[in-house]
Amino acid sequence: MTTRTLPMTEPAPGFPDRVTIYEVGPRDGLQNEKSVVPVEVKAEFIRRLVSAGLQTVELTSFVPATWVPQLGDAEELMDLLGPLAVGLQRPVLVPNERGLDRALDKGVKAVAVFGSATETFARKNLNRSVAESLDMFAPVVRRALDSGAWVRGYVSMCFGDPWEGPVPVRQVVDVCSRLMDMGCDQLSIGDTIGVGTAGHVARLLDALDAAGIGVDQIGVHFHDTYGQALANTLTALSHGVTVVDASTGGLGGCPYAKSATGNLATEDLVWSLDGLGIEHGADLDALVTTSVWMAGQLGRPSPSRVVKALAGG
């Protein structure tokens, strides 16, 4: 890789001093891959991400292999990672109590449940209505908290749904509020199919704040289908959000929503944060090198603009 210059640092008013990057590449980034990625490759991917300075890395999901074949090796992955897999900054997704049992058996200290703001996606993703899925999550969250684990609540389809169209803000706020009332430590609002725009992001954050869910409890999760993920992220940051979900190399998708494309690329986020003088702790060169390596494992170039600019793909 050739020598490069960093972006010029020009801080702008209204942005936080530091942002936590919540890396979802190993889970959300890989879950939609058609060919199963060897567990040894997944473990090496995670090791490289941690070495690059990403402190919070979501490792996998304890779902049945029949649901998401790509993530059917969760226990084996945890064993390969050893102590690196355990801690408050190594969350895993758990869909139900059985998934929680499997995670706790491996010493997991941080878990996430994955809900939906829309009925159709809830049915396709969890084979339950929104209300039924929330009922399923309640004992998961309670038991996780009782065990001393940190809990995150994901809400997908917060902006648009491929079957139902635009999602009313009040509908999203209702699901988010019910998840947080269970005791979740953090909420992640997801633009699963990437149709959100900056004004919509601002309106949803304002509505969540009015419902008692402050920006200190919120992470944002934007997909880049229409090239809006970074713009939407900057809008969220300007409103006080300090946790951003991103996927190294821009990997990602959703097995239950075919119009969902890759996540916000971690490298693109880091370039923008560097330009604003916002601390984040990640090493951009190491991330680019990791993305190029993973692209080689997957047999296709990274969609990240920054990776393409700095490494030619």
How many helices and strands, by DSSP H and E, does the chain display? 11, 10
Provide the token pair at 193. Answer: 């199919």
| Nearest residue to 61 via CA among 46, 78, 44, 49 | 78
Please state whether beta strands 150-156 and 243-246 pair in parallel, antiparallel, or not at all (unpaired). Answer: unpaired
Is 158 part of the annotated catalytic residue set? no
Question: Tokens 């990240």 identify what position?
Answer: 304
Name the region of 53 (left: φ>0; alpha: ψ -120 to 50; beta: rest).
left
- Scanning 2-85, the segments in alpha helix (DSSP H) are 39-51, 74-81
| Nearest residue to 153 via CA among 129, 171, 170, 177 | 177
Task: Name, in order, each residue with C-beta under 8 angstroms of 2's C-beta and a sequence gap of 6 or more.
Answer: none
40, HSE (Cβ side, Cα atoms, 13 Å): 0
Contact between 126 and 95 (Cβ < 8 Å)? yes
Question: Tokens 């109590």 identify what position?
Answer: 97
For residue 176, which phi and psi values (nearest 5 degrees)?
A: -60, -45
- Scanning the chain, the segments in alpha helix (DSSP H) are 39-51, 74-81, 97-105, 119-126, 130-146, 169-181, 198-210, 229-238, 266-276, 284-298, 305-311
- Catalytic machinery residues: 254
